[in-house]
Amino acid sequence: MYGRKNPTAPETGAVAAGGLGVTPPDTAKQYTYVKRFRWTGMGGVDYWIAYCPTCEEIVPPVSSRRSRRGTHGEDYWVHEHQLVFIKLWSSNSGRRAVSADEGVLEELKEQAEFLWCILRFPPDLVKKELRTLLSGEGGGIDER
């Protein structure tokens, strides 16, 4: 469906337990998430950032699948706690927006909106700055 197969990505359909090369422990429950990825050459973006409220950290995807040109695909997360997501969206005309699931820290959502919509940072840099904000290391961007 998306071109070349990624050997670390699961086959079509729902992600089966252990389907990502991750063997879940028998005693712990694993939560699995699949989110669509879009990055057109004209500025259109659908980019998801996973946040674990229990661990209070940004969780990277364990695997991803992309089209041959890398413009569309899916990202996969497996984590021992339930995750909430921040979505960075951009249209081909350049409009940008941020949406967040319930449970995302308000400070985190506001910082993502500032970095994505106002400063127009690329998604990877937004994720890096949010991780820095959560770790308390400082050195992040401050709007004041």
Q: Which ranges constitute the DSSP H helices of the chain?
A: 106-113, 123-135
pLDDT tens per residue, range 9-22: 444 444 444 444 45
Which sign, positive or negative, has the C-alpha torsion 131, 137, 141, 142? positive
> Which residues in the chain land under pLDDT 70?
1-28, 138-144
